[in-house]
């Protein structure tokens, strides 16, 4: 362990960092922004009944769940129950979780590397662009990061205070699993290596400790999975699964399918000038993914510094702290870089705590041992990479590239000529200036939405550039484009369907993004057909037959013609045949229609 008691007590420093983080994460979060409408709609539905809350139902009738365990949505639903359904009530838990992660990272690094390094690590995490934008959204990644940092804190305490903290470490990773499934387990090798290297005693004893923690990990990860699969009563279909089981979701769509692809591409279909094209979410898998145009501006600002530090560690790799944070960073980078399935740039927020800890501790190490040699080289390398990133779109705070170069030259000269503490402070300016500006820009944004991304509007999550003179491309995203309000025609459709007085006012045969406005902007009982991507067997044709026979359903809204994108799933095709066989189109004049979607009356 690095040991360093703080030379001076600065009781104001950590509160100041946390306050700054809170301002970045909370600024204007209620300004018409509901985050990812897929999850926002589900949160509203979850407040309707205990079963819908427990299992994370997407719709108020309990037909299908979201495609993840609902751990991250529970705080949001409780906030909505307490304060009402508003944007700030949805996003307030995310702000609190983000600030808590900054605070807890400080407490963790402080045990390992001292107060100054801990403060710098906390500030770096707070100023990471992707972390700012994701903490202003309601995706589950914010809570995942908090649980992973909590696991690192418990592991660090276990090295000092005993094995019972190792069990808490395993428990927090299990909570992360119930937030975003197998992604939480990526850091387990680093945790195990750090514990084995950082504790004394017989190897057998340490291995038994790890096995005991493994048991805690399994129980805390799978209790909800078992609860869902063994639930004796009615429950929503498990969204994203092939057979309706949570077990299938864990190891299929949200597990190994994310690594192998397994038929699910890591991109989005785009209609441009009437032609379908594929635009990748995170770029092609490979060693350069973390640095490409889509991902680089989210997380890679300090990756050159981190990689150089990890290379020069030498025997210090035997230190438990370096194994923990360096292992976390390396393993996560390798997994993310090689993932061939659905992978979004904002997933990299899970790397941010490790980047912050390695960067802060690495700078301290270089300052102590290589302040005239390697440290100036690191400043030059990091400034050059910031210049490259900022140059990719000079209309977005392009001035920072020249500011970074200028401050880097000053810092390098200062380090070489007179490497005092003021020179060390000066080195932080070129390292953190551009990510801090991007974080400021993210804090001013109110459009995180389905694909949150920091940086210019041409970054990940933004529509591609328009064709010269052509119409705006249509993005077909199952999660929706952030639209949370109904159009006038959609309201007329819903009002017309209400007149039937059925238990289910309307079934929308479309991806979740098209269904979400009906759930968010009305109190009618509307259901989506097929879950997130419209491909799930929910509702099944057996359910549809029963609802029709019992008079629970009369109207279905569906698009005309084949859908763009991949071929329909068997359940999707069977549902379409049911609609064609049991329903007839309603004359648009009856409800004032005329749009691309067709309202069907089923008999």
What's the pLDDT tens digit per position in 485-527?
A: 899 999 999 999 999 999 999 999 999 999 999 999 999 999 9
What distance in Å separates the CA atoms of residue 491 and residue 215, rounded to the nearest whole number? 52
* Over residues 578-590, mean pLDDT: 94
Percent residues over pLDDT 90 in the chain = 74
pLDDT at 154: 98
Looking at residue 266, its pLDDT comes to 43
pLDDT value at position 484? 86
Is 481's pLDDT higher than 60? no
> How confident is residue 31, by pLDDT bands cut at 50, 70 and 90?
confident
Cα 447 versus chain centre, distance: 15
Q: Which of 377, 354, 374 is nearest to 365 (CA)?
A: 374
Q: Which of 240-254, 275-289, 443-457 bottoms out in mean pLDDT, i.e. has the lowest?
A: 275-289
At residue 239, φ and ψ (nearest 5 deg) are -60, 140
Distance of CA 215 to the CA centre of its chain: 27
| Stretch 455-472: mean pLDDT | 48
Residue 421 has pLDDT above 80, yes or no: yes
278: confidence class by pLDDT, cuts 50, 70, 90: very low
Tokens 């979201």 identify what position? 66
Strand, helix or coil for residue 231: coil
Give dist(CA 84, CA 87) in Å, integer. Answer: 9
Predicted TM-score of the model (pTM): 0.91
Domain layout of the chain by residue ranges: 372-442, 488-602
- Would you say residue 314 has pLDDT above 80? no
Closest CA to 171 of 219, 225, 129, 138: 219
**Is residue 28 within 8 Å of 105, Cβ to Cβ?**
no
Check: CB of residue 72 under 8 Å from CB of residue 143.
yes
Distance of CA 388 to the CA centre of its chain: 26
- In whole angstroms, what is the distance from residue 521 CA to residue 502 CA? 19
Higher local confidence (pLDDT), 279 or 572: 572
> What are phi and psi for residue 472, nearest 5 degrees?
-65, 130
How far apart CA 530 and CA 541 sit, in angstroms, is 11
SS3 state at 83: helix
The residues facing 338 across adjacent strands are none
Of the candidates 218, 457, 259, the residue with the CA atom closest to the CA atom of residue 343: 259
**Cα–Cα distance measured from residue 60 to residue 507, given in angstroms and rounded to the nearest whole number:** 12
Residue-level pLDDT at 33: 80
- Average pLDDT for residues 225-254, to the nearest whole number? 91
Q: Is 40 exposed, middle or buried (0-12, 13-18, 19+ CB in 10 A)?
A: buried
Determine what percent of the chain is predicted with pLDDT higher than 70.
88
Helices vs strands, H then E, count in the chain: 24, 8
Flag whether pLDDT at 10 surpasses 90: no
Nearest to 34 by CA among 44, 21, 49, 24: 44
Bridge-partner residues for 528, per DSSP?
Answer: 508
**25 contacts 443 by C-beta, under 8 angstroms:** yes
Would you say residue 280 has pLDDT above 70? Answer: no
Higher pLDDT, 449 or 595: 595
Q: Per residue in 385-416, pLDDT tens?
A: 999 999 999 999 999 999 999 999 999 999 99
Instruction: Say whether pLDDT at 476 is over 50.
Output: no
Which residues 6+ apart lie within 8 Å of 540 measured at CB? Answer: 571
CA atoms within 13 A on the CB side of 241: 22
Residues 515, 528: Cα–Cα separation, whole Å: 6
283 conformational bin, left if phi > 0, alpha if psi -120 to 50, beta if neither? left
Kindly state the DSSP code that residue 279 receives in the 8-state scheme: E
What does the pLDDT read at residue 1?
44
Q: Supply the Cα-derived Rg of the chain in whole angstroms.
A: 25
């Amino acid at each position: 362990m690095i040991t360093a008691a703080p030379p001076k007590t600065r009781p104001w420093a950590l509160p100041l960092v946390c306050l700054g983080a809170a301002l970045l994460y909370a600024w204007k979060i209620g300004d018409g922004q509901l985050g990812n409408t897929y999850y926002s709609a589900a949160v509203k539905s979850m407040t309707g009944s205990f079963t819908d809350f427990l299992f994370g139902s997407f719709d108020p009738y309990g037909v299908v769940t979201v495609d993840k365990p609902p751990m991250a949505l529970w705080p949001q639903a409780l906030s909505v129950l307490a304060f009402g359904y508003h944007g700030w009530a949805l996003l307030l838990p995310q702000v609190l979780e983000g600030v808590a992660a900054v605070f807890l990272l400080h407490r963790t690094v402080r045990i390992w590397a001292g107060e100054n390094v801990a403060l710098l690590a906390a500030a770096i995490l707070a100023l990471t662009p992707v972390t700012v934008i994701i903490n202003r959204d309601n995706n589950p990644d914010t809570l995942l990061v908090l649980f992973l940092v909590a696991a690192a804190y418990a592991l660090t305490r276990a090295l000092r205070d005993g094995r019972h903290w190792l069990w808490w470490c395993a428990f927090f990773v299990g909570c992360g699993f119930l937030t975003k499934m197998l992604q939480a387990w990526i850091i387990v090798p680093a945790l195990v290596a750090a514990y084995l290297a950082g504790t004394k005693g017989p190897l057998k004893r340490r291995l038994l400790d790890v096995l005991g923690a493994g048991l805690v990990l399994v129980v805390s990860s799978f209790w909800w999975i078992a609860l869902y699969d063994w639930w004796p009563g009615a429950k929503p279909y498990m969204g994203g699964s092939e057979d309706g089981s949570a077990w299938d979701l864990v190891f299929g769509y949200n597990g190994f399918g994310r690594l192998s692809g397994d038929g699910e591409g890591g991109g989005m279909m785009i209609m441009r000038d009437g032609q379908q094209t594929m635009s990748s979410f995170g770029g092609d898998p490979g060693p350069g993914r973390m640095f490409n145009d889509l991902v680089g501006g989210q997380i890679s600002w300090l990756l050159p510094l981190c990689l150089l530090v990890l290379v020069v560690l030498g025997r210090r790799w035997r230190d438990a702290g370096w194994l923990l944070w360096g292992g976390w960073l390396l393993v996560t980078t390798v997994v993310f870089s090689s993932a061939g399935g659905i992978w979004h740039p904002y997933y990299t927020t899970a790397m941010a705590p490790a980047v912050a800890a390695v960067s802060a501790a690495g700078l301290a190490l270089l300052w102590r041992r290589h302040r005239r040699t390697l440290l100036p080289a690191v400043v030059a390398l990091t400034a050059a990479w910031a210049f490259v990133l900022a140059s990719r779109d000079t209309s977005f705070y392009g001035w920072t590239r020249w500011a970074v170069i200028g401050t880097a030259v000053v810092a390098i000269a200062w380090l070489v000529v007179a490497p005092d503490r003021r020179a060390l402070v000066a080195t932080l300016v070129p390292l953190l200036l551009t990510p801090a500006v991007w974080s400021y820009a993210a804090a001013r944004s109110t459009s995180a939405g389905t694909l949150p991304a920091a940086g210019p509007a041409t970054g990940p999550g933004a529509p591609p550039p328009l064709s010269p003179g052509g119409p705006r491309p249509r993005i077909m995203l199952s999660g929706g484009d952030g639209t949370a309000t109904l159009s006038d025609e959609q309201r007329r459709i819903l009002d017309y369907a209400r007149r039937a007085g059925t238990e289910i006012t309307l079934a929308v045969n479309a991806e979740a993004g098209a269904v979400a406005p009906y759930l968010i902007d009305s109190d009618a009982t509307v259901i989506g057909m097929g879950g997130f991507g419209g491909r799930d067997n929910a509702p099944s044709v057996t359910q549809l037959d029963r609802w029709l026979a019992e008079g629970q359903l009369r109207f279905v809204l569906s698009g005309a013609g084949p859908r763009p994108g991949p071929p329909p799933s068997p359940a999707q095709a069977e549902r379409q045949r049911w609609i064609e066989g049991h329903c007839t189109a309603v004359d648009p004049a009856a409800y004032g229609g005329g749009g691309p979607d067709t309202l069907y009356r089923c008999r």
